[in-house]
Amino acid sequence: MKISARNVLQGTVKTVTHGAVNTEVTVELSGGTEIVAIITKRSAETLGLSSGGSVMCVIKASNVMIATE
Amino acid sequence: MKISARNVLQGTVKTVTHGAVNTEVTVELSGGTEIVAIITKRSAETLGLSSGGSVMCVIKASNVMIATE
Amino acid sequence: MKISARNVLQGTVKTVTHGAVNTEVTVELSGGTEIVAIITKRSAETLGLSSGGSVMCVIKASNVMIATE
Amino acid sequence: MKISARNVLQGTVKTVTHGAVNTEVTVELSGGTEIVAIITKRSAETLGLSSGGSVMCVIKASNVMIATE
Amino acid sequence: MKISARNVLQGTVKTVTHGAVNTEVTVELSGGTEIVAIITKRSAETLGLSSGGSVMCVIKASNVMIATE
Amino acid sequence: MKISARNVLQGTVKTVTHGAVNTEVTVELSGGTEIVAIITKRSAETLGLSSGGSVMCVIKASNVMIATE
C-alpha cells in the first residue's frame, strides 16, 4: 500500500499503554527521536504491537505544525 | 510556551513552497529524516520561514498512525 | 502495509483538482457514496491519481464525528 | 445546520463502547461499509447514541488520505 | 443537526480568502476573539460565506491542544 | 515558542477529567466561552493542569470547520 501521507518514519516500539478504547504507543526512530501515537486499542491489538516491534509512524502533512523559539 | 502536543522535533527548514492560502514546508531533522508540513501562508510569513532556518515540527499524538509491513 | 487507521474504504477516483500545494480528490465508493479528500499535490502526483483509478480512502477514527438530525 | 465538512455519510449505529473520556462508535453505512469514530463519552451521552440509531458520520476532507495498492 | 464536536462557537465572518482548492475564513467571536479556519473553496461557496455573515466555528475536542507559558 | 497554529486562545482551566491514556480539559475563555480539549494524560500531568490554572487553547486552522444555520 502506498499512502498520500507525506511522513512515514521507521522505528521500533518502546511502550504500549492500553486504555479502554485508546492506546498510547511510543516509538523510537533511528537516531533516538521518540514519537508518541494515540491509536485505538483495537488497532493496537490487530497490528499485534508490542515492545521491540518494527513499525512505521504515519503522519499527514496537514497535521504538522511549525514552531520557532 | 509549553504545549500538550507530545511530539516536538528539532530540525532545519529545507524548502518553503507557497500557494495562495497554504504553504508546504519541508524540514530536515537531525539524522536526516525529512518531515513535510502544510501550514497557512500567513503563518509561514509571520514566522519568517526560509531555507536554513532552525524550527520545530509539532505533532499532536492523536494525529500519528502506526503501520506495519 | 497494515495501518492503524480504522477506516479504509475502496473506491474509484472521479475528479482530481490541483492547487499550488494541495489537491482535491473525489472518490466514489461502491454503492455510490462520494468521499472528498484534500492531499498534497505532490502526493497526488506520486500516486499517479487520475479519474477512473482504483484507490482507498484512509481515515483515522479520531477524525470522524457523529451527528444526529 | 449546514457544515463545511465535505463528507456527511448516513448510517446506523452498530456498537457503542465507552471508555473513561472517549467512546468508540461503529456505524454501518447503507451498502454495508462500516465506519469507526472516536468521540468524547460526553458527546455520545448527549447525542443519546445506542445500537440501531440513525446517525451521520461527518469527516473534514483534509482528514482523508488516499492510498493505492 | 446535532454534532459530536464539543466546540461550536458563534461568530461573524470577517474575511474570506480563496485559493485554488482551499479558502481561509476569519471569524470574529462575540468578545472580539478571532478564529481562523481553512475549509475547501467548494464549501465556502456552498455555504455562501461572505464578510458579515453569521456562522459557527466547529472544532472537535481531540484537535485542541493546551499550552502554558 | 511561536507556533504556526493560527488560533491561540487565553483561558482558565475549569475541569480536568482523567482516563487511562487521555484527559478531557475544559477551559473558559474570557467572555465565558467554554472550550473542550482532549489531550494525553501524560501531557496533562507534565503541564500540571488543574482547575483555575491559566492556559492557552491552541488550534490549527485546518481543524476548524464552518457551519451555518
Total beta-carbon pairs less than 8 A apart between chain D and chain F:
39
Give how far F23 is from chain A: nearest CA, Å.
Answer: 11
In whole angstroms, what separates CA D41 from the centre of its chain? 13
- Answer yes or no: is pLDDT of C31 > 90: no
Residue B22 to residue E19, Cβ atoms within 8 A: yes
- Answer yes or no: is pLDDT of A63 > 90: yes
Range from C3-7, C53-57, D27-31, E43-47 carrying the lowest mean pLDDT: D27-31
Instruction: Give the nearest chain E residue to C61 (CA atoms).
Output: E62
Instruction: Give the nearest chain F residue to D20 (CA atoms).
Output: F19
Residues of chain B with pLDDT > 90: what percent?
Answer: 96
- For the beta carbon of residue C53, count every other beta carbon within 10 angstroms: 17
* Residue E57 confidence (pLDDT): 98
Put simply, whether B23 touches A (Cβ < 8 Å) is: no
Query: Touching C: which chains, 3+ CB pairs < 8 A?
Result: A, B, D, E
Give how far E24 is from chain B: nearest CA, Å.
Answer: 7
Instruction: Give the nearest chain D residue to A62 (CA atoms).
Output: D62
* Residue D14 confidence (pLDDT): 98
Residue A40 to residue C47, Cβ atoms within 8 A: no
| C-alpha cell, C40 | 498534497
pLDDT in tens, chain D (69 residues): 999 999 999 999 999 999 999 999 999 998 889 999 999 999 999 999 999 999 999 999 999 999 999
Q: Report the complex ipTM.
A: 0.97
Q: Looking at residues C28-53, what average pLDDT do you find?
A: 96
Pairing of strands F7-18, E22-29: unpaired
The full set of domains in chain A, from first to last, is 7-59 (2.40.50.100)
* Inter-CA distances, C53 with B36, C25, C31, C36, C48, Å: 26, 11, 17, 15, 9
* Long-range Cβ contacts of E24-29 (<8 Å, 24+ apart): E24/B21, E24/B40, E24/B42, E24/F61, E25/E49, E25/E55, E25/F66, E27/E55, E27/E57, E27/F66, E29/E57, E29/F31, E29/F33
Smallest Cβ–Cβ distance between D67 and the set C32, C56, C63 belongs to C56
Put simply, whether F27 touches E (Cβ < 8 Å) is: yes
Put simply, whether C20 touches D (Cβ < 8 Å) is: no
- For the beta carbon of residue A69, count every other beta carbon within 10 angstroms: 8
* Residue F50 confidence (pLDDT): 98
Contacts of B21 in chain E (CB under 8 A): 17-19, 22-24, 38
- Phi, psi dihedrals of residue F4, rounded to the nearest 5°: -70, -20
d(CA D44, CA E33) in angstroms, rounded, equals 29
- Answer yes or no: is pLDDT of B31 > 90: no
| C-alpha cell, B31 | 539524522
**Residue E14 · residue E32 · CB < 8 Å:** no
Contacts of D62 in chain F (CB under 8 A): 62
d(CA A35, CA B66) in angstroms, rounded, equals 10
Smallest Cβ–Cβ distance between D47 and the set E4, E42, E58 belongs to E4
Cα angle F42, F43, F47; round to 5: 120
Q: Looking at residues A38-59, what average pLDDT do you find?
A: 98
Query: E16-69, pLDDT tens digit by residue?
Result: 999 999 999 999 998 889 999 999 999 999 999 999 999 999 999 999 999 999
* Residue D30 confidence (pLDDT): 85
**Residue F59 · residue A59 · CB < 8 Å:** no
Confidence class of residue C30 from pLDDT cuts 50, 70 and 90?
confident
Give how far E22 is from chain B: nearest CA, Å.
Answer: 7
- For the beta carbon of residue A1, count every other beta carbon within 10 angstroms: 12
Smallest Cβ–Cβ distance between E24 and the set B2, B4, B40 belongs to B40
Query: D22-41, pLDDT tens digit by residue?
Result: 999 999 998 889 999 999 99
Q: Looking at residues B17-42, what average pLDDT do you find?
A: 96
Three-state secondary-structure class, residue F7: strand
- What is the layout of strands, in order, in the sheet containing C65-68? D34-40, D22-29, D7-18, D54-59, C65-68, E2-3
Listed residue (D36, D31, D34, D27) closest to D56, CA to CA: D27
Q: For all residues of chain C together, what is the average pLDDT?
A: 97
- Phi, psi dihedrals of residue F19, rounded to the nearest 5°: -105, -165
Query: F21-61, pLDDT tens digit by residue?
Result: 999 999 999 888 999 999 999 999 999 999 999 999 999 99
Buried b (16+ CB within 10 A) or exposed e, B10-33: ebebeebbebbbbbbbbbebeeeb
Contacts of A45 (CB under 8 A, 6+ apart): none
Residues of chain C with pLDDT > 70: what percent?
Answer: 100
